[in-house]
Structure 1
Amino acid sequence: MAFEKVVEYLKEKGFEDRIKEFDVSSATVIEAAEAVGCTTNEIAKTLSFKDKNGGAFLIVVSGDAKINNKKFKEEFKQKAKMLSPEEAVELVGHKVGGVCPFAINEGCRVYLDESLKANEIVYPAAGSANSAAKLTIEELEKSCDYEAWVDVAI
């Protein structure tokens, strides 16, 4: 269901031809890089966090990046607390392994991390554990309704 929502969402944005579905899992960064045929840093990993009001927000980072807790706390004025798999479905609208910044639930905010800018092309998931979308950084910006660029990864 989430994959179909993402396909429709990206179609409305003019990027439906960028979606790829695989016969193998792309749920982890390593699996996604193997499925796509790219390096792990070109995978746009979407991490889901609980906000202090009980909602959720997403940070899209380079596949080889990790969240820097100090930078995160400075940026968001709270400790980093990732969503459980159940919370991801409820608050974001996607299952873990397919979480992406497209066709998400209302109220869920999206941030793009500076780590992505090291790549010309990135591959975020497309709503399922066996899909990805091939986008330039500019196309990623145009295809997701993001709040801001942040610098919270190492």
Structure 2
Amino acid sequence: MTPAIRFLEKHNASFTQHQYPCTALDDFGAHAAQQLRVPLGQVFKTLLTEGEQGAVVALVPSSGKVNLKRLAKAAGVKKLEMMPPTKAERLTGYKVGGISPFAQKRALPTVLDTSAADYPFILVSGGKRGLSVGLAAGELLALLNAKAADIAEQS
């Protein structure tokens, strides 16, 4: 059981677990969508960014990428850039491809793309490769004290 699953259970969250064989070496979101047979836009990737004011987590559909200017504006900071993968792993306690927005080493400001509202539930990493959790966008926002904003663009 991952820290993310323990976090969700501790907070009595309404969520589902989805395990699948993970053979991907990159584009983990696309792999998850294919394995779980859901639209690519319903699987959200957890991206770590950083700026002078610290780190910010972006949750965007796997079908797109984060717009760093819009993310910075939503987070109330001047400028953000993508965090190097090794630093993201150290900061969150998770491995790339399995970075969950839940139960990271410390709580970070989190912004969820507004497209999450298009689905009855979204899938995010459950804390390891090959494990996703499904939950309503509103529940994710409440659990993480996160914001919703238009931060994604098609890649």
Inter-CA distance 138–125: structure 2 relative to 1 (3 Å threshold): same
Indicate the residue corresponding to 1:61 in structure 2: 60
Deviation at 1:73, TM superposition (A): 4.3
CA RMSD of aligned residues (A): 2.2
Distance 1:107 1:131 in 2: 21
1:9 to 7, 11, 30: 7
Deviations 1:10-59 (A, max 9, x none): 11122476122222347612101012110100001111111314x32211
Equivalent residue, structure 2, for 1:44: 44
Which secondary structure state, in structure 2, belongs to the residue aligned with residue 11 of structure 1?
Answer: helix
**Moved beyond 4 Å, runs of 4+:** none
User: Which runs of 5 or more residues in structure 2 are unaligned?
Assistant: none
TM-score of the aligned structures, taking structure 2 as reference length:
0.82
SS in 2 for 1:133: strand
Inter-CA distance 43–12: structure 2 relative to 1 (3 Å threshold): same
Go from structure 1 to structure 2 and tell me whether the alpha carbon gap of 1:69 and 1:16 turns closer, same or farther (over 3 Å shift): closer
1: CA distance between counterparts of 2:81 and 2:69?
A: 13
Secondary structure of the corresponding residue to residue 100 of structure 1: coil
**Aligned pair count?**
150
Distance across 1 between alignment mates of 2:2 and 2:66: 30
Describe the shift of the 1:113–1:22 C-alpha distance in structure 2 as closer, same or farther (beyond 3 A): same
Partner of 2:19: 21
Cross-structure match for 1:113: 113
Equivalent residues of 1:111, 1:146 under 8 A apart: no
The 1:119–1:43 alpha-carbon spacing in structure 2 relative to 1, beyond 3 Å, is same
Letter in 2 for 1:45: K
How many Å separate the matches in 1 of 2:112 and 2:19? 23
Quote the residue 1:128 is aligned against.
Answer: 128
Task: Please report how far the alpha carbon of residue 104 of structure 1 lies from its aligned counterpart in structure 2 after TM superposition.
Answer: 1.0
SS at match of 1:14: coil
Q: Match of 1:98, as an amino acid? A: G
Provide the C-alpha distance between the structure 1 equivalents of 2:39 and 2:82, rounded to a whole number of angstroms: 25
Unaligned runs of 5+ in 1: none
Task: Check the 8 A contact 1:7/1:16 in 2, yes or no.
Answer: no
Paired with 2:140 and 2:85, the residues of 1 have a C-alpha distance of 24
2:51–2:79 CA contact under 8 A, matched in 1: no
